[in-house]
Amino acid sequence: MIKIVDLHKSFGENHVLNGLNLDVQRGETMVIIGRSGCGKSVLVKHMIGLIRPDQGQIIVDGDEITNHREEELFRLRRKFGMLFQSAALLDSMTVGENVGLGLRYHTSLDKEAIQERVKSKLALVGLSGMECLEPAELSGGMKKRVGLARAIAMDPKYVIYDEPTTGLDPIMADVINELIMRLQRELSITSIVVTHDIASATKIADRISMLHEGKIIFDGTAEDVLRSTNPIVEQFIKGSATGPIKPV
Amino acid sequence: MANLLAFIGRKFISFIEHVGGVFVLLGRVLKSLPWLFGNLGLVVEQMSQMGVNSLPLVLITSIFTGAVSAIQAAYQFQDFVPMRYLGTAVGKAVVIELGPVLTALVVAGRVGASIAAELGTMKVTEQLDALKTLAIDPVPFLVSPRFIAGLAMLPILTIMSDFIAIMGGYTVALLFLDITSNTFLSGLKMFFHFRDVIAGLVKALVFGGIISTIGCYQGFQTKGGAKGVGRSTTKAVVISMVLILIGDYVIASLVF
Ligand SMILES: Nc1ncnc2c1ncn2[C@@H]1O[C@H](COP(=O)(O)OP(=O)(O)OP(=O)(O)O)[C@@H](O)[C@H]1O
Ligand SMILES: [Mg+2]
């Protein structure tokens, strides 16, 4: 499980996280919602040590990672897969090489076995037979899905999805929702999903947390969220321009 | 006044930080060499890229450098020094100085810039973060192959450059300076010391290390978007060139 205690992070004068607390239980799908720019991506990057906190603790499976040295972080990251918001495919490599990269350097699988694995992961995200394309030849949504295939290629214990359905058509978005749920069910992966997509959130979440002004201001099941009388949550769910959140 | 001092102080501290950063990077490169040994493909790829990227430019530069050094030497020799020393002058200048330094400057502009731009783009588009997330350390994976390729390719390019430059000088001597082939070649051989070649290659080795290390370091330091990439590319080229010239002086004063 992942436990975050009193996390603070600022970029210059921009105080992004302000004493944030969050627990992610083993095997659950935790969805993090919040306005654009509120710090969701920054929060999840803390979990794998890509960003160091100014203050606070991040505990992964009982290990406090805040003061980990770089080598220890690399060991930690083997437990994680992450889909970046921007997909972040390596553009000097083909789709297949991107998906198989972790397998190639961290397992003793031979070429054929890796190709098999890559093929099956690409099939999961609806991109069968696209191994040889270059990232530059893909649409935004296709890149996302390659990034997703790469994130789950090593069958990690935790998968972080940063806006997995943004930029996908509604049908493909639901395919990805189903995939996230299936991975959780079948491989008991713990998922952390960042999203703005309320339909997707309520479908896949065991728990939804809302990030607002540097803190988690709400934490509950999908029903809790939909029934919530917290004006901030209510406004966000309804997608209303009027309310306590000022759309600056 | 106080402001000026503070400004200089800040600049100085950041300079020291960067020097430290470069050495930390070099340390991590050294530590990764055993791993790299099992992944030589990465090095070969970089070597071929560096070679392909720089060869045409190095060859053109070298022909004209050799040619011009023959003309200049002949002009300075007029009436004072016998023309049979022309080959000597051209050979020495090229092997010790012009070959290694000009090759390095050209490669710094070509390869150093492309390394910084490539890694810088990877940094700002989160590709480096993606590598880290896959538990692949960007230093062994990206920096070390470039470092080794730089060490290996610069001496090779320099030898080619030496050869082509001398050919350039030879051609000019034959065609325009009324010097016979024999005169030029015997002059070339006359004071030819193997030590000179070694010194030139040691320079090339050091320059190769400088170019790839600075290129990678600047790439990793990149912040912001396309503008940031442009900035670190320029910095990589300028800093490598300055270091090459300083290094040239230091090595020359140690060897000769
Ligand atoms: N590397 C960085 N340097 C400086 N500021 C940053 C950096 N990364 C993020 N920020 C700032 O932190 C804040 C939160 O950014 P973040 O990317 O986490 O937002 P987000 O919640 O993921 O938004 P979105 O839903 O649009 O992706 C923003 O104000 C952003 O400007
Ligand atoms: Mg984000």
What average pLDDT does this structure show over A60-64?
92
For residue B129, which residues of chain A lie inside 8 Å, CB to CB?
45, 50, 84, 88
- CB–CB of B132 and A150 under 8 A? no
Mean residue pLDDT of chain B comes to 91
pLDDT beyond 80 at B148: yes
pLDDT in the model for residue B230: 95
A43 alpha carbon – ligand 1 mean position (Å): 9
Tell me if A191 CB under 6 Å of ligand 1.
Answer: no
pLDDT in the model for residue A238: 86
pTM of the model: 0.91
Q: What is the DSSP string of chain B?
A: -HHHHHHHHHHHHHHHHHHHHHHHHHHHHHHTHHHHHTTHHHHHHHHHHHHHHHHHHHHHHHHHHHHHHHHHHHHHHTTTS-GGGHHHHHHHIIIIIIHHHHHHHHHIIIIIHHHHHHHHHHHHTTHHHHHHHTT--HIIIIIHHHHHHHHHHHHHHHHHHHHHHHHHHHHHHHHHS---HHHHHHHHHHT--HHHHHHHHHHHHHHHHHHHHHHHHHHHH--SSHHHHHHHHHHHHHHHHHHHHHHHHHHHHHH-
Which domain range does residue B118 map to? 2-255
Q: What is the pLDDT of residues A73-95, one digit of tens each?
A: 999 999 999 999 999 999 999 99
pLDDT in the model for residue A81: 94
Tell me if A121 CB under 6 Å of ligand 1.
Answer: no
Q: What is the pLDDT of residues A96-129, one digit of tens each?
A: 999 999 999 999 899 999 999 999 999 988 899 9
For residue B137, which residues of chain A lie inside 8 Å, CB to CB?
70, 74
Q: Token digits for A70?
A: 């770089």
Q: What is the pLDDT of residues B205-252, one digit of tens each?
A: 999 999 999 999 999 999 999 999 999 999 999 999 999 999 999 998
What average pLDDT does this structure show over B179-184?
85
pLDDT in the model for residue B77: 83
What average pLDDT does this structure show over A180-201?
90
The pLDDT > 70 percentage for chain A reads 99
Closest Cα in chain A, distance from residue B44 (Å): 16
pLDDT beyond 80 at A246: no
Q: What is the pLDDT of residues B60-83, one digit of tens each?
A: 999 999 999 988 888 888 878 887
Q: Provide the number of structural domains found in chain B.
A: 1
What average pLDDT does this structure show over A30-37?
92
Confidence bin at A248 (pLDDT 50/70/90):
low
A34 CA: nearest ligand 1 atom: 21
Ligand nearest to the CA of A34: 1
